[in-house]
């Protein structure tokens, strides 16, 4: 049996934040090796593909690697597919109905992926609520994120709770947040192992 392969696809949540400071050790920066995809890979001894892009929209997610989701799955043959898309939709779209429609399309695409490779485990990371100053700037953001997450929870895939431990930007995971997300995902994958790294941030 070959090495386990984990595919992570989505927006900015799995990426170092802020990217322009990586790998510098500023107090609000996250190194790539401290992000939850790499922590999961280390814990499982797995190969990890991180196909993420900041501000990814639904058409980009659906595009896969240029040939669509099914071809992406057939090409990469992941054993575990972790999807964490959606922030750009709830930040740029104000209409709750449209946000729910995008979440439904997201679920449809994941169903297409799972049918392409039935033995693959599909996990969805829900979106974290932003910090207080951002909620003051965007008073309806909780309703928008809530609507997106509710739609995903109504689907048939395993949804994993995000961490509330965020960087000072109040929307991306801190190092502690990435560790917590990795722990949640590993539990969902089927191991109780908690990932620990040496960092005081």
Cis? peptide before 23, omega within 30° of 0: yes
Q: pLDDT value at position 26?
A: 54
Calpha distance 145→147 (Å, rounded): 5
Calpha distance 95→10 (Å, rounded): 21
Say if residues 184 and 160 touch (Cβ distance below 8 Å): yes
Q: pLDDT value at position 22?
A: 47
Q: pLDDT value at position 105?
A: 96
* φ and ψ of 3, to 5 deg: -70, 140
Domain boundaries, the chain: 5-189
pTM of the model: 0.90
Calpha distance 177→166 (Å, rounded): 6
Calpha distance 162→11 (Å, rounded): 14
Question: In order along the chain (201 residues), what is the average pLDDT of each group of 10 residues?
Answer: 88 80 57 93 96 92 92 96 94 94 97 96 96 89 96 95 90 93 94 45 36
Calpha distance 17→31 (Å, rounded): 8
With left for phi above 0 and alpha for psi between -120 and 50, is residue 5 left, alpha or beta?
Answer: beta
Calpha distance 107→171 (Å, rounded): 23
Tell me the fold of 5-189: Rossmann fold (3.40.50)
């Amino acid at each position: 049996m070959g090495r386990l392969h984990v595919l992570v696809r989505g927006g900015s949540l799995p990426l170092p934040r802020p990217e322009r400071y990586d790998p510098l050790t500023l107090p609000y920066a996250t190194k790539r090796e401290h992000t939850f995809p790499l922590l999961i890979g280390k814990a499982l001894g797995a190969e990890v593909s991180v196909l993420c892009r900041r501000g990814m929209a639904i058409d980009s997610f659906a595009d896969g690697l240029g040939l669509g989701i099914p071809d992406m799955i057939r090409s990469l043959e992941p054993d575990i597919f972790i999807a964490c898309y959606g922030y750009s939709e709830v930040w740029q779209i104000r209409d709750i109905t449209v946000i729910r429609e995008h979440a439904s399309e997201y679920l449809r695409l994941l169903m297409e992926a799972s049918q392409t490779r039935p033995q693959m485990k599909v996990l969805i990371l829900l979106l974290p609520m932003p910090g207080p100053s951002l909620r003051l700037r965007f008073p309806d953001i909780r309703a928008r994120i809530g609507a997106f997450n509710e739609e995903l929870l109504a689907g048939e895939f395993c949804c994993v709770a995000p961490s509330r431990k965020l960087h000072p930007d109040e929307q991306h995971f801190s190092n502690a947040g990435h560790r917590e997300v990795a722990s949640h995902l590993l539990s969902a994958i089927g191991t109780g192992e908690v990932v620990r790294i040496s960092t005081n941030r």
